[in-house]
Structure 1
Amino acid sequence: MLEHTPIQSSGFSNIGPEDQRTGFCLRVRQPNYRGLRLSLVEGIRVVVDGHEFPAASNRYRMAGRTYSLQELDAETQVRWPVGTAMEVLVDKPGGLAAGVHLVEVEVLLRHPYFPPQFRPTPVHDRRHITIIR
């Protein structure tokens, strides 16, 4: 079940075998009022316990495929539907320690139908979620 906030507590986990963690993954719900093409996603900036992981460094998984930020920009066929979560894959050797972490995201979306001076601000979310192991 998807939660109302962009950051989803389910799916927050480390990537890789326990002794060879390469990073962590979190799920972010589509925050727009309607679906959009992946080419309109300008990235998702992640901050965990005060440490920033820039949008350009993260990878994004949608519809069974993993994209770099440059590949998202070129993807005009795949959509991010409302009510769907995208996985954000963050490189961090060793992953995150088990326990509660303060996680923040900034979802950057391009709104081509708004003139620049009226474009909505990025969507921010902040919450404590737990890595089990």
Structure 2
Amino acid sequence: MLERGTIQSSGFSNLGPAGARTGFRLRLRQPNYRGMRLSLIEGVDVVVDGEPYPAAGNRLLFQGQTYGLADLDAATETRWAVGETIDVLIDRPGGLIPGVHRVETIVWMRHPYFPPRFWPVPMRDAREATIVL
């Protein structure tokens, strides 16, 4: 079941096997009131406990395919519908320690019905989320 807001606590987890964590993942719900193509996303900035993870280093996992920031412009046929989630994959050797973390995100989006001078539009969210293992 989807939660309110963009950040979904159900997808907040470490990546890689225990003892060899390579990073963590964060699940986001579509922040817009209607669906959009992935090519309209200009990246996702993440801050966890005050530590920034800029969009340039993050990858998106959507419908079984991983997209780097440079890949998004070409994803003109891939649609992120309202109600669908996307995972942000963040490299961080060792992952995050189990427990409660303060998570903030900015999804940078272009709205095709806004003039380009207003692009990108920041869609912000923040909440506390827990990593169990």
| Structure 2 portions without partners, runs of 5+ | none
- The secondary structure found in structure 1 opposite 2:60 is strand
Give aligned pairs, total.
133
The one-letter code matched in structure 1 to 2:4 is: H
Q: 1:71 to 1:119 in 2, by over 3 A?
A: closer
**Pairwise CA distance, 1:123:** 1.0
Q: 2:111, 2:23 → 1: CA distance?
A: 30
Partner of 2:108: 108
Partner of 2:131: 131
Partner of 2:122: 122
**Pairwise CA distance, 1:119:** 5.4
**Pairwise CA distance, 1:118:** 5.0
- TM-score normalized by structure 2? 0.95
Partner of 2:95: 95
**Pairwise CA distance, 1:11:** 1.1
Partner of 1:21: 21
The one-letter code matched in structure 2 to 1:102 is: R
Q: 1:120, 1:15 → 2: CA distance?
A: 29
- The secondary structure found in structure 2 opposite 1:42 is strand
The one-letter code matched in structure 2 to 1:126 is: A
- The secondary structure found in structure 2 opposite 1:104 is strand
Partner of 1:66: 66
| Structure 1 portions without partners, runs of 5+ | none
**Pairwise CA distance, 1:117:** 4.8
Q: 2:4, 2:64 → 1: CA distance?
A: 23
Q: 2:2, 2:13 → 1: CA distance?
A: 16
Q: 1:70 to 1:120 in 2, by over 3 A?
A: closer
Partner of 1:57: 57
- 1:54-95 deviation per Cα after TM superposition (whole angstroms, max 9, x unaligned): 011100011110110111111111110011110000000000
